[in-house]
Structure 1
Amino acid sequence: MHRARDRRLAAAVSIGAAAFWLGAQPALAAPKELPLALRCAELAGAVLPPELIALPTAGALIESANMVGATAPGNQQGGEYCRITGRIKALNATTPDIRFDLNLPRRWNGRALQIGGGGYNGVVVSGTGVMPFSPDRAPLAQGYATFGDDSGHVGDSSLAVFGLVDEAVTNFGYAHLKKTHDAALALIARAYGRPPQRMYFAGGSTGGREGYTVMQRYPDDYDGVIANSPALNFSGVRLLGLKLGQAEYGTPGGFIPPLLLEHVYQRTLAVCDKLDGAADGIVSDVAACREHEAEIIASLRCAGHTPARDECLTDPQLATLLVMRDGLSLPYKLAWDVGGYRGYNLFQGTHLTGMLGLAHQAERLPVPTFFANGYLFAQGDGYIRYFVAHDAEFDSLRFDPQHPGKYRAQLVALSQTIGAMNPDLSRYIAHGGKLITLQGLADEVISPNQTIAYYEALNERFGGDQVNSFMRLYMVPGFQHGSGVFIPSVDLLGALDAWVTRGMAPETLTATDIAPATNGRSRPLCRYPLFPRYAGKGSVNLASSFVCAQP
C-alpha cells in the first residue's frame, strides 16, 4: 500500500547513516546504540546533500541541534526533546533559504507531523505548540516528531514582496513542502534509526491549502491530512479581495462604516438565529436562513431618505456587500478549469467588523492594511502588485480581474503554482490516505462555499462512497476564520490517527466552544451537509441537547 513511500524512506535511512553527513568527522555508531542526547548533538553542523531532497536544492545545513530538558524554562511538552533548526539552500543565490525547525521527542510514538503556515507565511513554524482549536496537549508532548518551515522567505504573513522572486514563489506554492519533508524525514531516520511509521500533515488557511497541495502533488508521502479552512483557490480569493476593495474605495459611497456592518449582522441574527430551534447567537441552519435573504436585504436597504450612518444601506454600500456575497465569475479559466470564486454567507451570520473583516476606515492607505482596509483587499492588493504585475507601485484599483489583458497568462500560471484546486486525489485515495477538513460556515476570509464546492467536485468525480471512505468535512456554524461566536476545540489529530491506524472512521464529533464569552459550551460537530439542531429540551449549552439534522 505504501511501497513508493517506504522505498524513499528506506533510502533516507541508508543515506542518513553515511559519513558525509558530518563531513570529515569519524564514523558514527548506529543510532540505536546511542541515547537521543548524543544523536542530537551529532546533528549540529551536519550538511545534507542535495541528493537527499527530491526537488532541486543546493542541500541543507543544520544550524543547531540541542536537547531541551523536561524542566527547561518554556518547555511545556512534558518531556525532553531534541530541537533542530536548519535551512535548505536555494539554487539561486538571490532566493531566500527555506528555514525549518524539527523537534524529536525522547519518547517517540513512531509518527511524524508536518505543520503548515498561514497567510503569506514568512515565519518558521516551530512545531512545539498546541495545534489551533485543539485540546491543550501539543502533538510533540504526545510523542510526535514535529516540523515546519517559513515556506522560503522572511516576513510577517501580510507581506507579499517575495512575489518578485520566481523561485520563492514556487517554494511558497508547493516546493517548500516537499523539500522540508524530505530533509526532516532524513533527519528523523538518522536520529531514531528508522523512518516514521505514519506521516501526517496539519494546517489551516494557507496551511489548509498546503494540506491539499501535498495530497495532490506528493500523495505517496502522507498517510493522513488535516486541512482546515483551506485557501484552495488562492488566486480566486485574491482576485475577489481586489474586486471588493474596488467596490469599497473605487466606487463613490461604497465604503460601509463598522456601525452599519454591525447593524447588518444583528439583523441577520434577528431573522435567523432561532431557525435551528435555539436562540443561542449562532446561525446554524444556513440553508433556511438563505431563504430569508431577500427579506433581510429589503429591510436593510435605504428607502428614499438620507440615512444615518448606521441605519440602512445605500445602493453603493449594498453593492459592496453583494460583491462578497456573489463571489467572482471570470470569462476565462484558471488552472484546473476554475472559473472564479464562490461567494460568502454574508447574510447568514457572518460578522464583518473583526480584525479580518471589511475595511474600518473610509480612506485607502497607500499600502492597505488588514484592519484599516480589510483583510481580503489588503491581501489581494499585495498579490496584484508583487505576484502579478511585479511592480510595487502598481495601483491595484486599476486592475480588472475579468479583463486582465497582458497579465492573464501570469494569473493562470500562478493559479497552477499556488492553487490546490486539482480534484484528482486518486493516488492519495489508492494508498489509503485519509483527510479531515473543518471550516466555519461564517468564515469571512476563506469562503465556506468554495470549500463545499471542492468537496462536491470530489463526490462528482469519485462517487459518494469512495469520498466517504477517505474524507470527512465538518462545517461549523458561527465559526469564522479563527474567531466567531462559536470557536470549536476538538481533537482532530486523535481522530485522524485513530482512522489511519485502527480504521475508526470519525462520524459526529463533539466540539467545545473556546470563544471567550461562551467558553465551555459544546455542540455536535456534524458531518456536512448536516448541522446541529436543538432537540427541544435540555440545556442549549450541551451538545447532547442537539441532533445532527439535514438542512
Structure 2
Amino acid sequence: MPQATTTLLHALLLTALFACSTHASAASYLVKHCAELEGTEVPASVISLPTRGATILSASVVAAAAPKNRNGEYCRLVGVIKAQLDTTPDIRFEVNLPARWNGRALQMGGGGYNGVIVSGTEPTAFAPAASPLSTGYATFGSDSGHVGNSGRADFAMNDEAVINFGYGHLKKTHDVALALIIMGYGRKPEQTYFAGGSTGGREAFTVIERYPDDYDGVIANAPAINFSGVRLMGVKVGQAAYGTPGGFVGPAQQKRVFETVLQECDGLDGVVDGIVSNVEACREHEPQIVAQLRCANGQRPSLRDSCLSEAQLATLEILRDGFTLPYELAFGVTRYYGYNVFQGVDYSSGLGLGNSPVATQPLRFDANGYLFTQGDSYMKFFVTHDLRFNTLGFDVDQPGIYKSRLIDLSATVGAMNPDISEFIAHGGKLITMHGLADEVISPNQTIAFYHSLVEKYGQSIVDSFMRLYMVPGFQHGNGVFIPAWDELGALDRWVTMNIAPETLIGTDIASATNGRSRPLCRYPGFPKYLGKGNVNNAASFRCENP
C-alpha cells in the first residue's frame, strides 16, 4: 500500500531511475508504478501562489479495455490543493498521464461557475470525437476551488474562493500538474497548451495575461472576458424587462424577432440556409426589421399577436447597444458591447430572455432569462454579499459604496488586460472562436478586445500570434450552426511546425442540419455562397470580407 507520507522529492527520486530512458520505457514504468503515487504530497514550495500544498487522494491505472474508456491506458490522479484558510474550499483536480504520451500537456478550462472537476478525459468543446487524452496528451483540470455549479455563486461569499475562481486555481493546478507530469515521465512537456470555452475562454485569456510563460498555445472560445461587464449587462436587461412597465419580451416576441431577421437577412450571403452569415450587411436592414416588429397604431402585443411594444423594443435596444460607464473598471474598461439582437440571435431557444413577465423569487434561467438571473446572482454574492439586495433598484452608473468592489472584481475575474507582450515574446499562439449569434457572451466584446490588441501592437504582430474566427449562426453552445473542427490540431501545427491556420472547415453538429460544412473564416470574413454547388458543402463557399 502507498504511504501517505510519500513526498514529491521521494517520487522524483523514483523517476530519476528512468529519466534518461526512452518514452516507451518511461511510460511502462509509469503504468507499473501509478498506484504508488497515491498519498503523494506536493509541497507548497512547488506552487507559485500561496497554498498549503497538495495531496494525491487516489492514483490508479485505467486500462485500455475498461468499460466506457475510449482514451487508451492511462494513469489517473485525483487530488486536492489545500486552501490557505480552513474556511475556504480546497481545489479539487485531476491529472491524466497516458501510457502513450506525445510529449505534450493540455490544461482544460471549465464552464459557468465551474464547481465540478474538469476531468480531462473528454474531447475539447466543438472538437472531433477523439479526446486529447486518447491522442497522447497529458491532460488536467480542476473545479476552480468550490463545489457546485448552480448559478447562485454561493462560493463568492468567500474572498479566497473568488480569487481561486478568477485566476488562482489556474496557476495552482498548472504547477501541481507539471510536478506530477515530471514525476510520471521524468521530464517536462515539450509543449503545454490551454483550451476552454465561455468561462474556460475567460480562463484562457487569463493565463495569457497572468502566466504567459507557462503556455505555448491557447484556445479561447466564446470567452467570458469583461466579466463584470456582462453581469452588469444582465442587471440592465433585467431592469428594462422587470423594472419598466411592459418591458418584458415574451417567448412569442423572441421567436418573431428571430424569424423576421431570417426573412430579411438570411439570403445576404447568397443562399437561404437558415444562417445569417453577412452580419454587417444585415445591420443595414435593421430599420426595416424594427419597423416590421413594432406594434402599429398603439396596438398592444398579446398572446395571439407577437408584435413588440415600444417598451419591449427598448429592452432589445439595451441588449443591442450595451452600455458605457461614467467610471473605469480595471484596465480602463468603461464599456460592455451589445449583442447581435437584430442580426440572427435566437433568444427563444437555449439561454434566452425567459418566459415569465414576473420576476420570480428566486430568479430562474427559464423564467427570467440567463442574463438577468446571473446579473442578480453576481450582485448578491460577488458584490454586496447580501442575499436580500434589490438588484432592480441598483444604479449601475452610480454604484456608490459598491464602486470599488466592482472595480476590484473586474481585475480579479475580468481578463481584460491588453498587455500580453510577454506571451508574444514567448512565442505563444492563440486561437479564438466565437459565435456571432451568441446570446450569453457578446461576440462584439470579443471583437472589441481583438481590435484593442491591433491598436496596441499593430495588425502584423497580432497576425503573428492570434487567429480570430467569428462563426455565423452559432450561439452559446447551440444555434442553427454548431461547428465541430480540429482546433487543437490547428494550434499544435502552428506551435510545432509554424503552420499558421487560415480558413478552416467546420462541420455542423446541430441536430437538424448535422453533417453540413462551412468555411470558418478569419475575422472579419464570412462564408459567401459561390452561386453553384452543394449548399451543404464548404467547397461551395468562399470567405469574403464585409
TM > 0.5 between the two?
yes
TM-score range normalised by the length of the shorter chain: over 0.9
Task: Give a deviation string over 1:340-383, Cα, whole Å, max 9, x none.
Answer: 20000000010001231111112212121211111111111110
Give unmatched runs, 5+ long, in structure 2: 19-25
Structure 1 contact 65–84 (Cα < 8 Å) conserved: yes
2:236 to 243, 251, 272: 243
The aligned counterpart of 1:45 is 39
Which amino acid in structure 1 is aligned with residue 494 of structure 2?
Answer: W
3-state secondary structure, aligned to 2:328: strand
CA–CA distance in structure 1, aligned partners of residues 110 and 6 of structure 2 = 34
Distance in 1 of aligned mates of 2:362 and 2:180: 41
Relative to the length of structure 1, the TM-score reads 0.95
Q: Which amino acid aligns with 1:421?
A: M
* Aligned counterpart in structure 1 of residue 55 of structure 2, from 53, 61, 76: 61
Q: Does 1:155 align with 2:148?
A: yes
Q: Kindly state the Cα deviation for residue 20 of structure 1 after the two structures are TM-superposed.
A: 3.0
Q: Name the TM-score, length of structure 2 as normaliser.
A: 0.96
Q: Is the Cα contact below 8 Å between 1:86 and 1:101 reproduced in 2?
A: yes
Conserved in 1, the CA contact under 8 Å of 2:119 and 2:142? yes
Q: 1:293 maps to what in 2?
A: 286
Alignment check: 8 A CA contact 1:121 1:157 kept = no
Say yes or no: does 1:20 pair with 2:7. yes
Alignment pair present for 1:231 and 2:224 = yes
Residue identity matched to 2:512: A
Report the 3-state secondary structure (helix = DSSP H, G, I; strand = E; otherwise coil) of the residue aligned with 1:402.
coil
Do the aligned residues in 1 keep the contact of 2:266 with 2:274 (CA within 8 Å)?
yes
Distance in 2 (alpha carbons) for counterparts of 1:157 and 1:134: 26
Q: Check conservation: 2:350, 2:478, Cα contact below 8 A.
A: no
SS at match of 1:472: strand
Could you tell me which of 121, 126, 141 is aligned with 2:119?
A: 126
Q: Give 2:197's aligned amino acid.
A: G
Shift of the 221–157 alpha-carbon distance from structure 1 to 2, 3 Å rule, reads farther
AA partner of residue 40 (structure 1): C
Deviations 1:408-451 (A, max 9, x none): 00000000000011111100000100000001000001101000
* Inter-partner Cα distance in structure 1 for 2:523 and 2:264: 23
Q: Contact 2:360 / 2:368 at 8 angstroms: preserved in 1?
A: yes
Query: Which residue in 2 is equivalent to 1:492?
Result: 487
Match for residue 379 of structure 2?
384
The 4+ residue runs of structure 1 with deviation greater than 6 A are: none
- Provide the residue aligned with 1:96 in structure 2: 89
Deviation of 1:308 (Å): 3.2
Distance 1:29 1:322 in 2: 61
Would the alpha carbon gap of residues 39 and 22 (structure 1) be closer, same or farther in structure 2, given more than 3 Å must change? farther
The residue number in structure 2 matching 1:262 is: 255
More off after superposition, 358-367 vs 274-283: 358-367
Structure 2 residue aligned with 1:483: 478
> Aligned with 1:371: secondary structure?
helix
2 CA distance for matches of 1:506 and 1:27? 42
Using the aligned pairs only, state the percent identity: 62
Check conservation: 1:209, 1:230, Cα contact below 8 A. yes
- CA distance in structure 2 between the aligned counterparts of 1:550 and 1:132, rounded to whole angstroms: 27
Give the match for residue 75 of structure 1: 69
Match of 1:363 among 358, 380, 388: 358
Deviation at 1:29, TM superposition (A): 5.8
Partner of 1:30: 16
RMSD, matched Cα: 1.5
Q: Which position in structure 2 is the counterpart of 1:520? A: 515
User: Contact 1:355–1:370 (CA<8 Å) still a contact in 2?
Assistant: no
Equivalent residues of 2:300, 2:309 under 8 A apart: no
Q: Secondary structure at the match of 2:92?
A: strand
Q: Secondary structure at the match of 1:331?
A: coil
Please give the alpha-carbon distance, in whole angstroms, between the structure 2 residues aligned to 1:91 and 1:138: 34
Identify the match of residue 214 of structure 1 among 199, 207, 217: 207
For 2:499, the equivalent position in structure 1 comes to 504
| Residue of structure 1 equivalent to 2:268 | 275
Contact 1:123 1:157 in 2 (8 A): no
